[in-house]
Amino acid sequence: MKQIYNEGKMGMEANVCQHCGQAAFVVKEKPVEKKGLMYVVMGWIFAALAVVYLPIIFGGMALYIGANTFFDYNRTHGAILMACAMFATIIGLLFSTLVAGTFVI
């Protein structure tokens, strides 16, 4: 796919299709930098805390960590963590309503 065109002393490298001559774009995948296991464990701890204590804050933090896990670490694990964080936040809000009679933030 690569052809080198020599123009005088300078060589110019271009990615072109050998059949039609159009420019071909090569997409290079960036290496995945995995965050540590502790980062994911913190997300699960925050999701568990969202059920019993400050559901908006801990649920939001678990959702944020789940989104970062989804994009940076593992898509499946991140999606599961985000779904559980949303579920835990809703359960925590309902639980606080039943116990205290108001939404506790």
Q: Per residue in 35-85, pLDDT tens? A: 578 888 999 999 999 999 899 999 999 999 999 989 888 889 999 999 999
pLDDT, averaged across the chain: 79
Please report which helix (H) or strand (E) contains residue 76, including its range. helix 75-100
The tokens for 70 are: 């989804």
pLDDT above 50 (res 91): yes
Domain coordinates in residue numbering, the chain: 37-100
Q: How far apart are CA 20 and CA 40, in angstroms?
A: 48
Q: Are residues 103 and 89 in contact, defined by beta-carbon separation less than 8 angstroms?
A: no
pLDDT above 50 (res 103): yes
pLDDT of residue 104: 59
